[in-house]
A and B are shown apart, each in its own frame.
Chain A
């Protein structure tokens, strides 16, 4: 346990392991509806991400890593259980390669590979509908979210910013705000897609802006109604693309502020 906490704070493998721990409960909750089907999906997903990691590790001659683990788990929780296996393999392969492996692996890219895979899935196969999140899934996310917050791997500012963006935009739009419905639809995607440290902004003011942007985009993409799974995925990828720009602007603003404050 102490090893896990320590390595989660100061090694990349530890970060992945902590995220995977947080994902166990959501996976179990989702999988208990159709255990055998989800077992097949999980094994296929893990094989496809880890095989690509192994191929890139061999080609680029760096030590094998297991970061594809979390990508596979997030993907399996978000997809419909009826998804054909070839679509799962294709999309996850594209996701891990385009989202992280071509950049050099986890942490070098700027988007979460699971988000890339989910986006490509929804774009390429219009008949695929991401299932809405259940209340039990949202509840299952809570312990993992607390664990990641305690370890400092996700930022409370991003969470608060996103909620602020959603509630604010719905309020302005005159839609009734039902916190419980929003929480149910949002929970998993918020913690594992939007809050992902590699995809989110990396300065404290930037984290607020990134969160508000992601929250606003979720409502925009869901047509002013309660968040849908698709809208969370598209908001996550769009906000991640803007995250480096947000950080850059924060740095410029900060430098200017320093100049004014110190003369």
Chain B
């Protein structure tokens, strides 16, 4: 178990927190640390017991980082009584007060959904995003009962379908009128929730959908069965810098240095590794595990930029986009990538909306940042366009 865990602002775009506790206070796992300023019913709870070691704000009082240091003497977390009442109001209330609600993300915009919002459909992302991510079938097999219960809880949140999107053929749960299993195969884009949503539902039409990871579904099942807030998640430790790639059980927001401590056994021989939360393409350099990530990559540190070298001069990655085939295969098949990238790079919100931008969040376009000749960060550009669309009230 890690010595420290954190909430990272990048996981919750535009979230402005109101803290119940301050730096130095003691928390137990499952206790509310902060709430959303505009929607105070949404609680964010501590993944481990300890003391709050740092609270940092970003621009406009958004959350940047809130870290908690483990304390062996901290009191044991108390469990709430398990609940059998699966009425919609009770399901919502339980998820909101227990801290499980932020596991949901709504599309468009990729934010925590409003407590009273209704989703036209819920997408359970149980695809294997990268070949090195944990196999969802393996992880779910260990907590099959919790996952099945979590699925039935989800069906009480929406009148629409609950799609289970998976990579392998064997269905992860029983299909009903409401629970639908869809298999996505093929390139990397087939593992992204944006592709699933674009394929099975129209976000354009003004009916938002929610996405949730498969481990969070199992955690919801665990919560309703036992009353405990489940903080453990299975992640894979991978990448060229990892001495012993493996699957491990850790907690939400775990400090990556702690859980990778056994990876650099021979520091003098090992190449300096860059810790990344997520896979090498959609992940980001981070000190803590992201809320929605299931993989840790020990990437090799990028070579320092040589400003005067001929190579960096001739192969500079600043400039226009060249419409190559590499871009063509990177996105969901229903989306025209080159016009979308052009719309994103000039900030044309109308065009971007027509082209299906509302189904996407940063992780869906991450691969384009690597493949495009312009060197632009499309995740950043996408978030700006989404912010503009949100301000327009769409």
Contact = CB atoms under 8 A, between A and B. Distances in A.
Contact of B319 (A12, A66, A153, A259): A12
A63 B339 contact: no
Contacts of B334: 258
A254 B354 CA distance: 9
Contacts of A204: 328, 336
B389 interface: no
B246 interface: no
A11 interface: yes
B318 to A, nearest CB: 9
Interface in B314-334: 314-317, 319-326, 328, 334
Contacts of B80: none
A132 interface: no
B264 interface: no
Interface stretch (A78-86, A100-108, A112-120): A100-108
Nearest to A17: B314
Contacts of B204: 258-259, 262
Contacts of B328: 152, 204
A9 B320 contact: no
Contacts of B26: none
A10 B372 contact: yes
Contacts of B325: 152-153, 155
Interface residues on B, range: 20 to 34
Given A107-B373, A247-B339, A12 B320 contact: yes
A7 B315 contact: yes
A11 B317 contact: yes
Interface SS of chain B: helix, strand, loop or mixed? loop
A14 interface: yes
Given A10-B372, A14-B315, A263-B202, A251 B339 contact: yes
Given A66-B314, A255-B355, A262 B324 contact: no
A107 B319 contact: yes
B202 A258 contact: yes
A202 interface: yes
Contacts of A17: 314
Contacts of A258: 202, 204, 334, 356
A202 B370 CA distance: 19
A12 B205 contact: no
B325 to A, nearest CB: 3
A13 B372 contact: no
Contacts of A251: 336, 339, 351, 354-355
Interface in A1-43: 7, 9-15, 17
Contacts of B354: 251, 255
A134 to B, nearest CB: 30
A44 interface: no
Interface residues of A, number: 38
Most buried by A among B202, B326, B336, B372: B336
A251 to B, nearest CB: 5
Contacts of B20: none
B313 interface: yes
A64 interface: yes
A250 B328 CA distance: 15
Interface string B30-65: 000000000000000000000000000000000000
Given A197-B323, A198-B322, A203 B338 contact: yes
B111 interface: no
B26 to A, nearest CB: 49
A106 B318 CA distance: 12
B336 A15 contact: no
Contacts of B375: 10-11
B156 interface: no
Contacts of A263: 202, 205
B14 interface: no
A239 to B, nearest CB: 15
Interface in B285-326: 313-317, 319-326
B366 to A, nearest CB: 14
Interface in A47-67: 63-66
A204 B373 CA distance: 19
Contacts of B339: 202-203, 247, 251
Interface of A: 7, 9-15, 17, 63-66, 104-108, 151-153, 155, 197-198, 200, 202-204, 247, 250-251, 254-255, 258-259, 261-263
Interface of B: 201-202, 204-205, 313-317, 319-326, 328, 334, 336, 338-339, 351, 354-356, 370-373, 375
8 contacts: A11-B317, A14-B315, A104-B320, A106-B320, A203-B336, A251-B351, A255-B354, A262-B202
Given A152-B326, A153-B322, A250-B336, 16 more contacts: A9-B324, A9-B326, A11-B373, A12-B319, A13-B314, A14-B315, A104-B320, A105-B320, A151-B324, A152-B324, A152-B325, A152-B328, A155-B325, A197-B322, A255-B355, A261-B202
Name the 5 nearest CB pairs between A and B, nearest first.
A262-B202, A152-B325, A107-B320, A202-B323, A202-B338
